Structure 1
Amino acid sequence: MTALVLPACISVLAIGVDYGHLTLERREMQVAADLTAIAVASDMAHAEAAALSHIENNRLNLLLKTPQGLKTPSGVVVPEAAIAGTTGRVTLEKGRYVANAALDADQRFQPGVAPSDAVRVTVEQPGTLFFASMFTTPPLMSAVGTAAMTKTAAFSIGSRLASLEGGLLNAILGKMLGTTLDLKAVDYRALATADLDLFQLTRGLASDLNLTAVTYDEILATDITVPQLLTAILRHGGLPSSTTTLVSKIRQSLPASGKRLSLARLIDLGNKGHLRIDAPAGLGVKVGVLDLLQSSAALANGAELVKVDTKLDLPGLGSVDLALAIGEPPVGTPLHRVGEPGQAVRTAQVRVALAIKIDGLADLLGIKISLPLYIEVAHAEAKLAGIQCHGGKPSNATVTIDTVPGVAEVSIGQVDAAALKNFGSSPRVTKAKLVESGLLTVEGLASVDVGSAQVRKLTFTPGDIAVGTTKNVSSSGLLTSLTQSLLANLEAEIRLPLLSLMTDKVVQAALAKTLGAVTPSIDALLERILAVAGVRIGEADVRVTQVDCANPVLVQ
């Protein structure tokens, strides 16, 4: 019986030894795949070099598969015939990792998607058999490791309000806030250059509203009034005394109550927003006081038209009747964001109807001209294209932003004021009377598209990010030629009395001369109005204030 049973026992023991050793090798391969993935994820820009360096430093019996062939740890490409049968192969796949529990584990890694923030490493190596090799070949085993690096940046888009004079800004911003403002240009520049930390401000809002055990996102989603926001800025903004005085002056001029708004429409804190307010954010998000005030006022104003009658100190221009409509920020693309590559921020869509009175020249018998303009500006967009964390340190990070400036349609003509605030459809522009008197009548209609949807790339160096540098993308010369382009496309209908000594050609020349003389003033007026609304034709201002480079981790 012993003689019969002993061979079976030896066979079972041999199989157990082989299986146990294969299991140990499989674990070692998995460790190699996981650690190689972490090493590569920490330096995605030099993926092959990082993998080869890891293989060499850990003396692994592996070669890297590349488009040129199999590479040794020293970077030498070797032919397949010169490789030992026990040597393993490593394959790298770069892509993006989507941390979404609703997706199956095998769908969260998206190979080949740029910009890459994750890598999948596959290790294949023949197993070792001691006894079973007498009647079978060693199996080819494999292990897969996936690692991702979470890289986020705080970035925003807006307009340079500091370049404006105070009069027009007082009128428009005051209307949106429901008050009368009397600030000078130097005051607005002080507000524009003062920054707030959004995390600090949000925690302060929670304290003012007696909210506890809440997350940053829950606070931003809470409806507040503009006076409550300004009170939080005064208490928790950490602003210099001169800026605090200006904010306090605005706060005191506002009515006690007002329309409510949710800052979540303007600000997205990304993965940091899920944190409770008693947890450190580990990131600073900066926003200008004036930017936040202007965008909050526009959001609180809602679909209401901002109507302003004013006289500006611009050569040749008389009174200006203004109707301004600002659309709500697009859902999912706020003005300020903590985001990962691929996410974007956008300005709001803006519509402006102007009725400008222009002093007539002697060539036009001194008759005043009424010039109705309609401007519709699409949103500008800034998309986070990539973050390079050199050495894995956020202080050495470089950020690239793909920016598309806002394009516009500008027309000479009349529009229905009620249609301005309906952003679901475009208002119809009709022919308008430019000149109407007993001597002559001129009607006109013109339209021109301004700007380009071409993507412009902005690069922010560590120095730019440290000081919060604002970078501008613009299509040069757009505003300078805007009114000239309109006049060149003007379809004018001239009606003269029967006894008039003038001809159509004389009137056309006089009209062109009169409007041409005030072209710079009209362009300057359009630039000022749109900047108050947070947009510029063919331009976009972008800045990056912070970068977070988390250590790479294994993911499923």
Structure 2
Amino acid sequence: MTFWRDQRGNMSILFAAALSLAGVVGAISVDSAALFRESRMVQAAVDLAAITATADPDNAESLVRTVLRDAGFVEDPVVEVGHYGADPAKSPEMRFVRGRGPVNAVRVSYRQTGTLYFGANLMNPPEIAATGTAMVVPEVSFSIGSRLASFNGGLANAVLGTLLGTTVNFSLADYTALADARVETIGFLDGLAGSLGITAGTYDALLTHEVRAGTLVGALAKGVSGPARLALETLSRASAGSPVPLKKLLTLGRYGRMSVNGGGKGLGAQISALEILSAAAALADGQRQVWLGLGGSIPGVAALSLDLAVGEPAGGGGWFGIGPAGTVVRTAQVRLRIDAQIAGNLTLQNALIRLPLWLDLASSEAKVVSATCPNRAEPNGTAEIAVLPGVAILAVGKPSNAEMRDFGTPLPLAPVRILDATLLQVSASGHLSIAQTSPVPLAFSSADIGVARLKMAKVTTPVTSLAQGLVSGLNFDISILGLGLSLPSVINTALKTVVAPLGPPLDAILNSVLTTLGLGIGEADVRVYGVRCATPVLVG
């Protein structure tokens, strides 16, 4: 009884018990911390292995093993190659599909037995498992509006010269040399930055500037050689030229955040010098209006004049872009006003017929739908582009200068007086429209991308002669003011006979003017220059 009542040394007993408990807690804490650290190291190694393997899926297995063994992990991993779709409607674990193409992701799974320093005699070591999934986002460099097949030298010079605010005297040989000369996109921008005295900042900051056409052409000349360089240098010295908004010319995506002169060359975008020049002309000075007098150049036509107004691409977007699926590039909007004067025949009292027409061509757009990364079988990758050719309307009418420049308002459709003689008055009406409501898919193979092959998206309704179709289908409202004239049916036939020959040459003129700007009626031209998969990212 005395022993139980004795309280001496009780603190020693409590201390010993607490010390034993602290030792147990300490051992558990050390083992837990060690297991947590080991788990983090395994996960980090697995993530690194997945990222490394994604850059080269063909050798994923060997790359993963190398990375893990270099990190000190010797167990065999499970390596799966497949497709990862970032679909928010699916749970994260369902977004990766093993073996499915196009291959853009690698999933690595790894297991090993954890290490216990104090508890090994009391319990079995737990298993440490880690899974890492990495994917690459293919980025496509592409352009819309690159029609370089043929040029009417004089007409092209007039259009380019007026839009650029200078004098252009290129020969057909000059145009051919410019079409063949290739310019590296980032190198061109670095040269442009040097011309502007910009030595720091990002490409996105550079693209916020407007530069004079002369400065842009001078920078373009530095990236080419031979006859193309000589032609561009001559043009750059001719005049300062009109301002060109660079952000409407190029869209660089995430590459825009790179530093100017930071060694970002080699994005796989060797663009024709003529493509850049034509696109810059279409974008120069906002909504510049061009008048071209072509009188006497068309047999049977007394006089012909053409007014051209060019607006910015609808909804923004550059003519050239680099980016993942969803990236959009657009052409410029164009309006043409045509005034043709034709001598009437005896049935029409030899009166002068004035036929005014207008063409409204909306922006065409191209959008990256999907792409696959370069691999052993397809060294340049592949891409699918959805193209929507711009809506085109050709109609009888004479819009004002203000209406021509107001691209937000449709041009008027109304009958127009085309003949006003003493005893005879004739009004004409008519219009043709071309529209593509659903995008046209264009598939670019690795071989297509390797040579920057041009592909054309056309509206589903074939369009071969828009002007000829309109002219042949004109409606005439005939007013006979006196006796002795032919019947309205005879006058109607005479009108069609006189006006019909105007169709084919008008089509040729429209195509020549639009070709200079890289555009087409009911068509859109697209090139893909390269697919990059340089930056894998972890997705799980």
Note whether the superposition's TM-score is higher than 0.5. yes
- Output the amino acid matched with 1:347: T
- SS of 1:525's partner is helix
Query: Aligned equivalents of 1:109 and 1:305: distance in 2?
Result: 57
Partner residue in 1 for 2:307? 323
Tell me if structure 1 keeps the 8 A contact 2:380–2:450. Answer: no
- SS of 1:352's partner is strand
> Residue 243 in 1 paired to residue 228 in 2?
yes
> Residue 304 in 1 paired to residue 291 in 2?
no
- SS of 2:206's partner is helix
- Output the amino acid matched with 2:317: T
Query: Aligned equivalents of 2:197 and 2:22: distance in 1?
Result: 75
TM-score, normalised via structure 1 length: 0.77
Shift of 1:480: 2.5
Q: 1:170 aligns with which of 130, 148, 157?
A: 157
Partner residue in 1 for 2:263? 280
Shift of 1:379: 0.8
Shift of 1:410: 1.6
Unpaired runs of at least 5, structure 1? 65-72, 76-90, 98-107
Q: 1:233 aligns with which of 220, 223, 227?
A: 220
How is 1:194-273 mapped onto 2 (pairs within 5 angstroms)? 194-234=181-221, 236-240=222-226, 242-252=227-237, 254-255=238-239, 257-273=240-256
Cα offsets for 1:91-150 (capped at 9, x unmatched): 9953289xxxxxxxxxx99969xx999769697999999999xxx999999866453424
Tell me if structure 1 keeps the 8 A contact 2:147–2:525. Answer: yes
Query: Aligned equivalents of 1:382 and 1:417: distance in 2?
Result: 30
Tell me if structure 2 keeps the 8 A contact 1:341–1:387. Answer: yes
Cα offsets for 1:146-175 (capped at 9, x unmatched): 534243232111142441211222222222
- Root mean square deviation, CA, Å: 4.5
Partner residue in 1 for 2:446? 462
> Residue 505 in 1 paired to residue 489 in 2?
yes
Partner residue in 1 for 2:36? 23
Classify 1:145/1:293 alpha carbon distance in 2 versus 1 (closer, same or farther; 3 Å): same
Partner residue in 1 for 2:367? 383
Shift of 1:313: 4.0
Tell me if structure 1 keeps the 8 A contact 2:111–2:130. Answer: no
- Output the amino acid matched with 2:248: R
Partner residue in 1 for 2:9? none
Q: 2:334 aligns with which of 331, 350, 354?
A: 350
Cα offsets for 1:378-428 (capped at 9, x unmatched): 111111222212438994322222212122122112212211111222232
TM-score, normalised via structure 2 length: 0.79
Shift of 1:246: 2.3
Classify 1:367/1:547 alpha carbon distance in 2 versus 1 (closer, same or farther; 3 Å): same
- SS of 1:218's partner is helix
Query: Aligned equivalents of 2:78 and 2:202: distance in 1?
Result: 48
Tell me if structure 2 keeps the 8 A contact 1:359–1:369. Answer: yes
Q: 1:334 aligns with which of 293, 303, 318?
A: 318
Q: Which segment drifts farther, 334-343 or 352-361?
A: 352-361
Tell me if structure 2 keeps the 8 A contact 1:378–1:407. Answer: yes
Query: Aligned equivalents of 1:52 and 1:245: distance in 2?
Result: 52
Classify 1:483/1:476 alpha carbon distance in 2 versus 1 (closer, same or farther; 3 Å): farther
Q: Which segment drifts farther, 534-543 or 258-267?
A: 258-267
Shift of 1:9: 7.2
> Residue 444 in 1 paired to residue 428 in 2?
yes
- Output the amino acid matched with 2:51: I
Cα offsets for 1:186-222 (capped at 9, x unmatched): 4323323322223222222333333323433333333
- Output the amino acid matched with 2:210: D
Classify 1:15/1:268 alpha carbon distance in 2 versus 1 (closer, same or farther; 3 Å): same
Q: Percent identity?
A: 32
Tell me if structure 2 keeps the 8 A contact 1:117–1:150. Answer: no
Partner residue in 2 for 1:525? 509
> Residue 544 in 1 paired to residue 489 in 2?
no
Query: Aligned equivalents of 1:163 and 1:440: distance in 2?
Result: 43
Unpaired runs of at least 5, structure 2? 1-12, 69-73
Classify 1:50/1:362 alpha carbon distance in 2 versus 1 (closer, same or farther; 3 Å): farther
Q: Which segment drifts farther, 371-380 or 525-534?
A: 525-534
Tell me if structure 2 keeps the 8 A contact 1:92–1:121. Answer: no
- SS of 1:535's partner is coil
Tell me if structure 1 keeps the 8 A contact 2:469–2:503. Answer: no
Query: Aligned equivalents of 2:83 and 2:336: distance in 1?
Result: 53
- SS of 1:444's partner is strand
Query: Aligned equivalents of 2:464 and 2:64: distance in 1?
Result: 57
Query: Aligned equivalents of 2:93 and 2:362: distance in 1?
Result: 35
Partner residue in 1 for 2:396? 412
Query: Aligned equivalents of 1:360 and 1:421: distance in 2?
Result: 33
- SS of 1:371's partner is strand
Shift of 1:505: 1.6
Query: Aligned equivalents of 2:363 and 2:453: distance in 1?
Result: 22
Tell me if structure 2 keeps the 8 A contact 1:18–1:128. Answer: no
- Output the amino acid matched with 2:207: L
Query: Aligned equivalents of 2:143 and 2:204: distance in 1?
Result: 18
Query: Aligned equivalents of 1:250 and 1:420: distance in 2?
Result: 29
Shift of 1:18: 7.0
Classify 1:401/1:60 alpha carbon distance in 2 versus 1 (closer, same or farther; 3 Å): farther
Q: Which segment drifts farther, 30-39 or 262-271?
A: 30-39
